Amino acid sequence: MNIGLFIRANRWLLGEMNRLAADVILTICRDLNITPGVFTAIHTWGRDQKWHPHIHFSTTASGVTKKNTWRDISFYRENIMTMWRYRITALLKKHYYTLTIPDELKAEGRSKASWNQLLNTHYKRGWNINLSDILSNITHVTLYLGFYLKKPPVSLSRLKHYSGEDNITLRYKSHRTKKQEDLVMTSDEFITLFASHVPEKWFHMIRYYGFLSPSARMRKMLTEVVYPLAQQDKKPAKKVT
């Protein structure tokens, strides 16, 4: 089952899935009485600009305890995968009557019983969770996070050729071949692809949880608890002109 089909037909799932992704990590940390710092970046595009919704999730490898001490956290792929799989399956079961079922899955979605049977089949499989290593170099971390926070669907440097009238050539690295490839499309095709990734008004593509959440910031948890524990000075943001 291609989950992207459902998100295209039910874009509100992006927000729900993002919330569930954060809930997995926060639940693990809550059981340890630790509050981590978490942010997520929702992307709907792949390297070739086609519809490929996914969530980039970043969490601190340490967190604040209830006694305001700093404690390391360990995350395990199998544990995260199982919790994520359960939450997504439960979400799609719960909202069966409000989901728009894509034409490709009309047969499987003809009744709630058949729909649940399809979800149960996929629940028994291993799901793809990419858990990266801990990043320790602060410069590398800043560049890495900044790239995913502000990355547009397509950067100007990847537009290899545009005649001003006809075709556009997009350079991208293929996941399949691991090589640089060219994708040629008309201007209308490019605009259609690009427009499909524009979020709804007021929809937040970047969200914060744990001690980075708006509520924690209101309580000054970041500046009065986290910064001293991490021995980090509060620096004023630079004004961008």
Instruction: List alpha helices for 124-174, DSSP H.
Output: 138-150
Domain ranges of the chain: 3-152+199-229, 154-196
Report the pLDDT averaged over residues 124-129. 88
Say what the pLDDT of residue 157 is: 64
Angstrom distance (rounded) from CA 49 to CA 47: 5
Say what the pLDDT of residue 1 is: 65
Angstrom distance (rounded) from CA 190 to CA 129: 30
- pLDDT tens, position by position, 220-233: 888 888 888 887 77
Are 54 and 43 in contact, with CB atoms under 8 Å apart? yes
Residue 91 φ/ψ, nearest 5 degrees: -60, -45
The yes-or-no verdict on residue 148 having pLDDT over 80 is no
Put simply, whether the predicted model's pTM sits higher than 0.95 gets the answer no
Report the pLDDT averaged over residues 83-98. 94
Say what the pLDDT of residue 114 is: 93
Residues in the chain: 241
Report the pLDDT averaged over residues 99-110. 86
Burial 188-211 (b: 16+ CB within 10 A, else e): eebeebeeebeeeeeeeeebbbbb
- pLDDT tens, position by position, 4-59: 788 888 999 999 999 999 999 999 999 999 999 998 988 888 777 788 888 888 89
Contacts 24+ apart (CB under 8 A), 134-140: 134/61
Higher pLDDT, 29 or 219: 29
Say what the pLDDT of residue 208 is: 93
Please give the share of the chain, as a percent, with pLDDT higher than 90. Answer: 35
The yes-or-no verdict on residue 155 having pLDDT over 70 is no
Beta-bridge partners for 207: 40
Cβ partners under 8 Å of residue 162, min gap 6: 168, 169
Please give the share of the chain, as a percent, with pLDDT higher than 70. Answer: 94
pLDDT band at 156 (very low <50, low <70, confident <90, very high): low
Residue 210 φ/ψ, nearest 5 degrees: 65, -140
Say what the pLDDT of residue 193 is: 83
Give me the chain's average pLDDT, please: 86
Say what the pLDDT of residue 164 is: 64
pLDDT band at 82 (very low <50, low <70, confident <90, very high): very high
- pLDDT tens, position by position, 159-215: 766 666 678 887 877 778 888 888 888 888 888 888 888 888 899 988 999 999 999
